[in-house]
Structure 1
Amino acid sequence: MIRITATAFALLLALGHEAAAGAAADARIPRLRELVTVTSDIVCIGDLIDNAGKAADVPVFRAPDLGQTGAVLVQRVTDALRPYDLTDIDTGGLSEVVVTRLSRPISSKDVADRIAQALAGQYGFGDAQNISITFDRDVRMFHVEANATSDLVVSRMNADPRTGRFDVSFELPGSAAARRIALRFVGTAREMMEVATLTRSLRQGEVIKGSDVTIERKPKTEAGLEAVSPEQAIGMAVKSPSRAGQILRQSELVRPLAVQRSETVTIGLEMPGIMLSVRGKANEAGAVGDVISVLNIQSNRTVQATVTGPGRVTVAPSTPLVATVVSSLANDQSARNTQ
């Protein structure tokens, strides 16, 4: 039994050595890659073939343009490799090899952001995040070498603070591709700001509600210095008819009227130990806090009163007319009590 076991073990050991030798041989077989990525403008044998050996650094094809992908037929690849004694290649049943040349893409937004950064704090502009860039011509995405990771560097810049017109040229250190591209951009820069605009049209005197206002980014020159925030606009009334989308400005807003002209109001007076009220008629309109002229209907006297709420006004105790008003209000109150 022991002899049989030893024989079996020896057989297994031999098979293991053969399998290991076979695996090692398989590992050394040149194998074609299905997907290839390169960073240079040439494709070497080592890019296409695993286990290419000494021939790995031999160039065989021109790479696609930066950022582009191309396909090469397997037959073409094997023909190109034959002079380098790479004939027993495992193609894995592939019909073509796909080659992609890596790159760093630079979009129109990247260029616009860089121009905004260059203009920020100069020529009357504020922060870069508030500068909007419009190009005279469409700026298409372009590609540079994947290892060209530096920022675009301004080589020349002119800007008109009055119109926002700019003419900017860039360089990109370490990029041969960038030197072949005209990195000059012309357009207009505008500083933007967030302002409150109307979501619907309002009638004259209509009070602004929260649902009537939204925030939009508008050019600072269009918004002006009087643009208000939604918090400042809500609860105010518009002086004149206003359209949807209109920017809300301080000069176009008023406090909502609490008393209308010719409206019947309650005139009140509060003093220590005295609280009187009488009917009156507003000679003019007013918002809360406004001082308006009011006619005491019963005495036919006119007084100056402060609007305190809808249909309500009060007479200030400190006014020169207080004595007259108190007398009038007291007489009116006495007359009502007698009745």
Structure 2
Amino acid sequence: MLRNSLLAAALLALSAAPLAAATLRSEVAVTGAVVTIGDFYPEAGRHAATPLFRAPDLGTRGAVSAHVIAERAQAAGFAEAGTDGLRQVVVERLALTIGETEVETAVRDALLLRETGLDADALQVSLSGFRGPILADAGQGNPVSVETLDWDRASGRLSATLRIRAANRTQSAKLTGLAQEMIEVYTAVRPIERGTIVAEADLAPVRMPRNRLTLRQVADLGNIVGLAARRSIQAGRPLRAIDFEQPVLVKRGTKVTLVYHTAGMTLTTIGQALSNGAKGDVIDILNLQSRRTVTGIVRAHDQIEVGTTRTRIAQLQETN
């Protein structure tokens, strides 16, 4: 009898003991239109989805009394709700800012999805007609959708209609602009005089529309470094392959070394170039000792490799 009385007293004492207060967040960020018990109290459990307040406007924040939060939560059935020592809680409604960058990205992605042959890294989109920025609900997965898209690949001209889902309404935007495949070509960073041998430091890349590119523009740095300017070149102008040539290694009238390689020996003598020559050019040279004209290939600066006929071997041997 005594044992049953003690057990009953213990149960009564437990039922009369106050429940432990739940933790109340001091700051709450939401993406939807309402703020729930679970937004305020992480331990809300089955009461988490119960709405308590309307959320502030998109992209704004406001303060709510902690006492009012606790009262409303308790009235909704969450008995553990309390103030946790707070006077107020700051509530912010998150928003996505839809600006020109987001709009251009949406159009660009739609174009790449439709035109599978486009190079994503080379595509550049510029649009006009967008009146923004527009705030959209951060809870939406994709607030911008492209409804219509027309693109002329040859000219790059583009028109599109977008649908943007804001907080309480959906609005349309009609845009026009350009979508161009860009390619990197090279320009001179400073004026280059005729005959100057081009170094990598003399050049800089610029991007230009692919449809304006011809085979004449230089798109590969390795194709011109080490070549000589065929004419004076202005800074900033896209370079053309015809602006360059192999540098002159032999100038007309200068003395050169004539070299002949044969099995086991090398013969040399002095000559005078009768024309200019770049590496690999075949030019005529006057042998200054024999006073005969020979033909050779420009191999290096002021160095000519002569032919391999027996007559030319004899000529070189006679002069040594």
TM-score class normalised by the smaller sequence: 0.7 to 0.9
* Aligned equivalent of 2:150: 158
Match of 1:193 among 168, 176, 183: 183
Does 2:111 correspond to 1:119?
yes
Contact 1:228 1:249 in 2 (8 A): no
Contact 2:30 2:94 in 1 (8 A): yes
Unaligned stretches of 5+ residues in structure 2? 1-9
* Aligned equivalent of 2:21: 27
Q: Which amino acid aligns with 1:168?
A: A
Does 2:57 correspond to 1:57?
no
Give the CA deviation at 1:222: 5.0
Give the CA deviation at 1:306: 0.8
Moved more, 71-80 or 300-309: 71-80
SS in 2 for 1:281: strand
SS in 2 for 1:235: coil
**CA distance 1:179–1:332, change in 2 (3 Å):** farther
Give the CA deviation at 1:243: 4.2
- RMSD (CA atoms): 4.3
Contact 2:229 2:245 in 1 (8 A): yes
* Aligned equivalent of 1:202: 192
Contact 1:158 1:167 in 2 (8 A): yes
Q: Which amino acid aligns with 2:281?
A: D
Contact 1:268 1:314 in 2 (8 A): yes
**CA distance 1:85–1:119, change in 2 (3 Å):** closer
Contact 2:144 2:163 in 1 (8 A): yes
**CA distance 1:139–1:290, change in 2 (3 Å):** farther
Unaligned stretches of 5+ residues in structure 1? 1-13, 334-339
Distance, in Å, in 1 between the alignment partners of 2:168 and 2:236 is 43
Contact 1:199 1:212 in 2 (8 A): yes
Distance, in Å, in 2 between the alignment partners of 1:120 and 1:181 is 24
Does 2:62 correspond to 1:71?
yes
Q: Which amino acid aligns with 1:220?
A: R
Distance, in Å, in 2 between the alignment partners of 1:116 and 1:176 is 21
Match of 2:222 among 223, 226, 231: 231
Alignment of 1:249-264 (within 5 A): 249-264=240-255
Contact 1:121 1:127 in 2 (8 A): no
TM-score relative to the length of structure 2:
0.74
Distance, in Å, in 2 between the alignment partners of 1:326 and 1:220 is 55
Give the CA deviation at 1:38: 2.3
**CA distance 1:332–1:20, change in 2 (3 Å):** farther
Give the CA deviation at 1:26: 3.1
Give the CA deviation at 1:240: 2.3
* Aligned equivalent of 1:242: 233
Distance, in Å, in 1 between the alignment partners of 2:48 and 2:260 is 106
Distance, in Å, in 2 between the alignment partners of 1:289 and 1:54 is 87
* Aligned equivalent of 2:3: none
SS in 2 for 1:182: strand
* Deviations 1:277-320 (CA, angstroms, capped at 9, x unpaired): 332222222211111232333444433321011001122226xx
Distance, in Å, in 1 between the alignment partners of 2:194 and 2:276 is 14
SS in 2 for 1:27: coil
* Aligned equivalent of 1:5: none
Moved more, 190-199 or 40-49: 40-49
Alignment of 1:92-131 (within 5 A): 94=86, 96-106=88-98, 108-120=100-112, 126-131=118-123
TM-score relative to the length of structure 1:
0.70
* Deviations 1:129-153 (CA, angstroms, capped at 9, x unpaired): 2101122256755443344325855
* Aligned equivalent of 1:10: none
Aligned residues: 308
Contact 1:144 1:178 in 2 (8 A): no
Give the CA deviation at 1:327: 4.6
Give the CA deviation at 1:167: 0.8
Distance, in Å, in 1 between the alignment partners of 2:113 and 2:46 is 57
**CA distance 1:279–1:137, change in 2 (3 Å):** farther
* Aligned equivalent of 1:133: 125
Contact 1:268 1:276 in 2 (8 A): yes
* Deviations 1:194-250 (CA, angstroms, capped at 9, x unpaired): 334444443222222343344444433455334232333322222223344444432
**CA distance 1:58–1:124, change in 2 (3 Å):** closer
Give the CA deviation at 1:49: 6.3
